[in-house]
Amino acid sequence: MRAAFAQNFAEAKELGAAFAAVRDGEILCNLWGGHADRARTRAWAADTLVPVFSVTKPIAALIVARLAGHGLIDYEALLAQYWPQWGAGKEGVSVAQALSHQAGVCGFLEPIDPALWLDPPALAAALAALAPLWPPGSASGYHPLTWGYIAGELVRRVSPRSLGSILREDICAPLAIDFHIGLPDSEHARVAEIQRPTEFPELGPLTPIKRAAFLTRWAAPDRGGAQWRQVEIPSANGHGTALAMARLYQAYADGGTIEGQDITGPSAFAALTRIRIEGPDLVLPSLQAFGAGVIGNAYGVYGLNRAGFGHSGWGGSMGLADPAQKLSAAYVMNRQSNKLQGDPRAQRLIAALYEAI
């Protein structure tokens, strides 16, 4: 693992990075190196935090499942049952469909103020009133940012606590896991600077739907500032270490439990991880297998077990879980590539991990 990790640096593919793997609660490796800033004056440390973008989604999805396990959410119920304002042709969308990227609202075709992304209730209200870009339930179209506002608003509708608060109070604080959706000001100094990619993401032939999801001037807020870190965006602004992510992804390797703590309950975990739609996606250029917030490993991006789970994040970050091995792993970095899935740096580390075990 050390050799594979070092090779990514030797080939000048990294600025700073970390990789961790956990099996059945045991830390198999926890590697970090490089620099946490673009000027290369601050060494990456064991507790350096990094935004992991969409690798946040399966972690946030655990909170929805936790509430489902407590009887507060039914995946098969209509989302409008919990969120009456959810309409404009989307009234028939179930919770599970919305969380598996089938709701048809992957972005906004018409301009919005990008600052709206930093006001989750306002953005959620705009989504509720947005007409779908395709017939809901007929296809998946990856919702890179909007997924988190749907999940966050659903939690807000059924719980007095926010999604990020539940994650912090019920899971991360008791287990001493250094991961945050909604980063306190006191932790901002630990965050690595991001070196953004120089090329657009590889999306294949462009369509209006893909442009709405990723490529308009209003498709995302200004990412990287203090306000971006502070607000809760459960689709995209989780901050943590590689080890923290690997420990959280243990839930997907061990039936909804982390180090003996039941996070979701068995029935809710089954509902979360059941593949809801599989095949061509209207936004991503490759075949996908979506559960209600996690990606099934049917196409082998996330390790050797095709019955496993994972997710990728903007720029190359990745988390995976292999239930057969009770294995989870995570890769984070601050030099982004334009790969939406299958970043070669992460794939090298995954291959070395499986060879090692």
Per-residue pLDDT at 37:
96
d(CA 280, CA 124): 27
> 3-state DSSP call for residue 39?
coil
Q: Is the pLDDT of residue 199 over 90?
A: no
List the helix and strand counts (H, then E) for the chain: 14, 13
Instruction: Tokens 């999940």: give the residue.
Output: 151
Choose among 181, 195, 197: nearest CA to 224. 195
Share of the chain above pLDDT 70, in %: 100
Tell me phi and psi for residue 22, to 5 degrees.
-130, 140
Per-residue pLDDT at 99:
98
Residues of 56-92 as b/e, b for ≥16 C-beta within 10 angstroms? bbbbbbbbbbbbbbeeebebeebbbebbeebeeebee
Q: Is the pLDDT of residue 255 over 90?
A: yes
Please give the radius of gyration of the chain, using alpha carbons only, rounded to the nearest integer: 19
Angle between helices 56-69 and 146-158 (to 10 degrees): 20
Q: Is the pLDDT of residue 223 over 90?
A: no
Residues marked as catalytic: 54
**Are the C-beta atoms of 63 and 48 separated by less than 8 Å?**
no
- Mean model confidence pLDDT for the chain: 96
Burial zone of 349 (CB within 10 Å; 0-12 exposed, 13-18 middle, 19+ buried): buried
d(CA 138, CA 328): 32
Average pLDDT over residues 163-189: 97
Give the largest Cα separation in the chain, rounded: 54
d(CA 105, CA 124): 11
Tell whether domain 2-356 is in CATH 3.40.50.1860: no
Per-residue pLDDT at 198:
83
**Are the C-beta atoms of 320 and 303 separated by less than 8 Å?**
yes
Average pLDDT over residues 45-66: 98
* 98-121: pLDDT as tens digits: 999 999 999 999 999 999 999 999
Per-residue pLDDT at 239:
98
The more confidently predicted of residues 222 and 113 is 113
Q: Is the pLDDT of residue 45 over 90?
A: yes
Burial zone of 260 (CB within 10 Å; 0-12 exposed, 13-18 middle, 19+ buried): exposed
* 298-329: pLDDT as tens digits: 999 999 999 999 999 999 999 999 999 999 99
Which residues have CB under 8 Å from 327's CB, separation 6+? Answer: 21, 22, 23, 24, 28, 253, 303, 321, 353, 357
Tokens of 89: 């042709």
Choose among 25, 15, 17, 12: nearest CA to 1. 17
Per-residue pLDDT at 12:
86
d(CA 68, CA 154): 11
**Bridge partners, residue 332, by sequence:** 18
